């Protein structure tokens, strides 16, 4: 079996959405003739852990861990200095020290494991910088660079750009990665178009591929079994509450998973819901909002106070992936929020795919012309209003709420479209890219 060195700073037991793309590839790659060897950070002072994600990693997979050199993890005055250095001085990101001091480890792995191909994934972009070093040292080993998000065209960088000097340095780094990598992967078709448009002289069309995020049907298997149904297709249509989790069966339950930051704000949603309550179109005592993830309690309280939604919203801290899925499938509706602005149309969050397979309609308050909106339309998995459209958001909430009141099933997903995003299927596409280079 051919061996691929997968350089992934975010890897189980690290938690968070960025981890799952690589861990699911690792889970299924052997089925397609590739043996993954992982190079990642160590577990010392890992900021967010989710042990439930470890189950995806075959027990005999080689996972090599090198010191993280995480300056963000220190405390006190040293911690403040460390955060300043990692965020303002290190280029392209705070994982640059990990990249620099892990190069020798990566070289040793290539020699000792007979590596046939190198795969890197970002964030962090430092993973690609490490691969540039390795490519120069081992030019005959193909390199595949995977962009989970855009780099210098990332919406969060566009909103808060670095100083001009640093931006120029990062653009040169990005250009070099695009030039040196044998094959490139991006997460959405719009991201691919952006890379090609922003680099017109590089002829990227022939070496760039789109492999989106997805869902793993096995993550939902135990819930389907508990409902007495072994078919993942019927799970998509199920409206039966999972017995795994306590629910408010007498309340219309909307669940949001993730966090709010930057453009991703819940203001329009809360304003719309508050107006519906004040207009008597939604009974405040019959609605329940669950926010699961990392949130600023004060921000949520200000919004609930402002819109007269006290007692409606409950905040839960970060949950293990399995438990989060249980909460999703025991809800009546799943809330998806993304903000507007330059570049916003290019990406969809990883959670949208698990929302799609949960068997619950999505209430999407997102850029109406973006990749996520297109995905929801193609799969017929939810109601969409633009993230600036207050009336459209109100109409969608009211429609879903009234359907729940009347016991009406309005959820008829396109199962054939949804199947395209199954993790095993997507790993097969990744293996095809690997095979091109081997």
Instruction: Give the start-to-end residue ranges of the domains of the chain.
Output: 2-214+422-437, 217-419
User: What's the topology of domain 217-419?
Assistant: Rossmann fold (3.40.50)
Does pLDDT of 388 surpass 70?
Answer: yes
CA gap 359, 245 in Å, rounded: 16
**Residue 278: Cβ within 10 Å count:** 12
The pLDDT tens digits of the residues spanning 282-321 come to: 999 999 999 998 888 888 899 999 999 999 999 998 888 8
CA gap 416, 407 in Å, rounded: 26
Does pLDDT of 217 surpass 80?
Answer: yes
Q: What is the pLDDT of residue 227?
A: 41
Phi-psi region of 316 (alpha: psi -120 to 50; beta: other; left: phi over 0): beta
What value does the mean pLDDT of the chain take? 88
Do 2-214+422-437 and 217-419 agree at the fold level? yes
Q: What is the pLDDT of residue 251?
A: 94
CA-nearest of 77, 126, 117, 120 to 97 is 126
Q: Rounded to 5 degrees, what are φ and ψ at 422?
A: -75, 135
Q: What is the pTM of this model?
A: 0.85
The pLDDT tens digits of the residues spanning 327-340 come to: 999 999 999 998 88
Give the CATH H-level superfamily of domain 2-214+422-437: Glycogen Phosphorylase B; (3.40.50.2000)
Q: Kindly list the strands in the beta sheet with 208-210, ordered across the sheet, starting from the edge strand earlier in the chain.
A: 62-66, 34-41, 2-7, 115-122, 143-147, 183-186, 208-210
**Residue 432 and residue 185 in contact, taking contact as beta carbons nearer than 8 Å:** no
CA dihedral 234, 238, 242, 243 (to 10 degrees): -90
Does pLDDT of 232 surpass 50?
Answer: no
């Amino acid at each position: 079996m051919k061996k691929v060195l997968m350089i992934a700073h975010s890897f189980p037991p690290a938690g968070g959405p960025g981890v799952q793309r690589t861990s699911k590839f690792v889970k299924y790659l052997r089925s397609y003739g590739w043996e993954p060897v992982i190079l990642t950070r160590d577990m010392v002072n890992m900021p967010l852990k989710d042990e439930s994600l470890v189950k995806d990693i075959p027990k005999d997979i080689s996972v090599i861990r090198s010191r993280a050199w995480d300056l963000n993890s220190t405390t006190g005055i040293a911690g403040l200095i460390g955060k300043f250095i990692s965020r303002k001085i290190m280029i392209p990101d705070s994982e640059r020290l990990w990249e620099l001091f892990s190069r020798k480890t990566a070289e040793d792995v290539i020699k000792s494991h007979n590596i046939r191909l190198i795969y890197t994934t970002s964030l962090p972009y430092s993973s690609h910088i490490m691969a540039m070093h390795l490519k120069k040292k081992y030019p005959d080993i193909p390199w595949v660079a995977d962009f989970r998000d855009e780099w210098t065209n990332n919406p969060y960088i566009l909103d808060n750009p670095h100083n001009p000097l640093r931006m120029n340095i990062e653009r040169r780094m990005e250009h070099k990665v695009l030039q040196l990598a044998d094959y490139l992967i991006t997460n959405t078709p719009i991201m691919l178009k952006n890379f090609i448009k922003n680099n017109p002289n590089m002829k990227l069309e022939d070496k760039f591929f789109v492999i989106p995020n997805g869902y793993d049907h096995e993550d939902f298997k135990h819930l389907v079994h508990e409902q007495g149904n072994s078919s993942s297709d019927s799970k998509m249509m199920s409206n039966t509450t999972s017995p795994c989790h306590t629910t408010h069966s007498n309340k219309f339950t909307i669940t949001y998973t993730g966090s709010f930051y930057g453009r991703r704000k819940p203001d329009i949603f809360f304003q719309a819901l508050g107006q519906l309550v004040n207009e008597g179109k939604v009974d405040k005592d019959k609605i329940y909002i669950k926010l699961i993830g990392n949130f600023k309690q004060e921000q949520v309280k200000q919004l609930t106070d402002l819109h007269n939604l006290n007692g409606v919203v409950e905040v839960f801290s970060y949950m293990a992936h399995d438990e989060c899925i249980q909460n999703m499938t025991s809800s009546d509706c799943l809330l998806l929020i993304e903000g507007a602005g330059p570049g916003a149309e290019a990406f969809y969050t990883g959670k949208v795919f698990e929302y799609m397979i949960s068997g619950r309609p999505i209430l999407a308050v997102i850029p109406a012309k973006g990749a996520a909106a297109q995905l929801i339309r193609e799969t017929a998995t939810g109601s969409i209003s633009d993230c600036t459209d207050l009336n459209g958001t109100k109409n969608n909430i009211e429609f879903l709420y009234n359907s729940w009141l009347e016991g009406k099933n309005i959820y008829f997903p396109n199962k054939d479209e949804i199947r395209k995003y199954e993790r095993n299927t997507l790993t097969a596409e990744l293996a095809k890219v690997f095979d091109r280079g081997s």
